[in-house]
Amino acid sequence: MDIIGTVVTGIGVAFLFLGNLGVLRLPDVYNRIQAGTKCTTLGAFLTIIGVGIMEPIWFWKALLIALFVLVTNPISSHAIARASRKSGVSLCKQSVVDKSEDFDDFGENA
């Protein structure tokens, strides 16, 4: 059990590391949120579940915490992205399309 838990936690830590690397490497705030959401969701999920596997008494509590992270992480990233788009943070140079101006909430109608 200990070994399985350690491996699961290790994979989670690896994903967390890649997520952090993505935050450092990617060009603008939206792409950084991509890395910061995707990798940390699975990373945190696997880390917490791994702890739950190592200590079977905690498994259900760990699962509850992991599900909470899984539900709240997209919402927080959505809030940050929406706020930065509304306050006019521009996209990076590689961007090919920006349709947010058509949206009533954004652009000049806001």
CB of 2 to other proteins, least distance (A): 20
Q: Measured from the CB of residue 9, what is the shortest distance to other proteins in angstroms?
A: 15
Which of 5/32 has CB closer to other proteins? 32
Residue 55, both tokens: 């200590």
Residues of this chain that bind other proteins (CB under 8 A): 15, 18-19, 21-22, 25-28, 30-31, 33-35, 37-39, 41-43, 57, 59-61, 63-64, 70-71, 74-75, 77-78, 81-82, 85, 91-92, 94-100, 102-106
CA atoms within 13 A on the CB side of 109: 7
| Residue 33 near residue 77, CB atoms below 8 Å | yes
Half-sphere exposure of 7 (CA within 13 A, CB side): 3
